Amino acid sequence: MLKKVQIDPIITRSGARYHLPLTYEVFGRALHTAPIILVNHALTGNSNVAGEHGWWIELIGKGKCINTDHYTVLAFNIPGNGYDGTYIENYLDFVAQDTARIFLKGLEALGISQVFAIIGGSLGGGIGWEMAALNPEITEHLIPIAADWRSTDWLIANCRVQEQILNNSKDPVHDARLHAMLCYRTPASFRDRFERTINEDLGIFNVESWLLHHGNKLRDRFSLEAYKLNNQLLKTIDIGRDGPEGFEAIKKSQINIHIIGVNSDLFFTIKENRETFNELANADCVVTYGEINSKYGHDSFLIEFEQLAELLYLLFKKPRKTRGRINNTLDHEREEKYSD
């Protein structure tokens, strides 16, 4: 059930003042009765992480990797994502850090001084990094998946293309989604799935009909305002925007950091993920690195649930602290069902 918490107005980094509603959902144990796991959603996601149609239902639920019999799972909606009916027209007023500050205000308003874990994929993982930089005491475990502490130049460039499409196309959400799907997946996944086959009914390649389907599907459920805002947030992840202080605060903290990369990710590449791991390990931080081995690219965190559960199993089965350990990657392929 969607709930609302009252938070104080926020002045964004751009100087704009907003008094926004913050909505959330809780799954599993009631707040303050069990360890809390905060799940940050990705660009087209929302707070429904484990409900009947929850986008991470394969990972979160009774008897699953994140067992809702043992944990409280909390998920905020990014203000402006439209899931709660709230939209933000001036999307350039916000950067990812602003959303992180809003989430921290939400935790404070709910009487939560620390959570057991903050976990999120893609944009959600980036917001997790931003939250940890702003308040290194807020979580015991930070789990960024297919994410990093700053947006890469490649990601920024693709977000710019997305913005151009969203601002200039006659069918903006549909057309932007077509381009985005090329970045969320990989050439190998397209080759293996479509093999240059033809959709006889439409008279076009099956890869083209698949792209058009995804464009139609997102247009039917996601607003232009929400797409513009979340694309802007994805482009502006950077805990080092004010200098090294943000990253240094994390290095000096007691947070247990568990980085999970995707070997075929075109957005947040494993090269950057491994560099982040090495820098934290060399600073004697409590950090682990695991890797999803998949042909599906960035979207693997929404597809490869068995691998993801395997990488997270020990953490949520029995919390541990391991310094500088790299987990072995797993070989597994799964039929695709989802997309960011």
Fold category of 3-150+239-331 in CATH:
Rossmann fold (3.40.50)
Six-digit token string for 95: 């950067």
CA distance readout (Å), 207 to 29, 212, 241, 259: 43, 9, 39, 32
Report pLDDT for 210: 98
pLDDT at residue 51 in the model: 78
What CATH topology corresponds to 153-234?
Rna Polymerase Sigma Factor; Chain: A (1.10.1740)
pLDDT along the chain (340 residues), means of 10: 96 97 97 97 97 92 95 98 96 98 98 98 98 97 98 96 98 98 96 97 97 97 98 97 92 96 96 97 96 97 96 78 42 45
Domain boundaries, the chain: 3-150+239-331, 153-234
Nearest alpha carbon to residue 74 among 127, 34, 126: 34
Among 237, 241, 274, CA closest to 122? 237
The predicted structure's pLDDT at residue 326: 45
Of 285, 290, 284, 288, the residue nearest 325 (C-alpha): 288
User: Residue 54, Cβ neighbours under 10 Å: how many?
Assistant: 21
Phi, psi at residue 267, to the nearest 5°? -95, -70
Greatest extent of the chain over all pairs of C-alpha atoms, in Å: 60
Antiparallel, parallel or unpaired: β 22-28 and 72-76? antiparallel
| C-beta of residue 233 within 8 angstroms of C-beta of residue 123 | yes
CA-to-CA distance for 336 and 301, rounded, in angstroms? 11
State residue 175's pLDDT score.
98
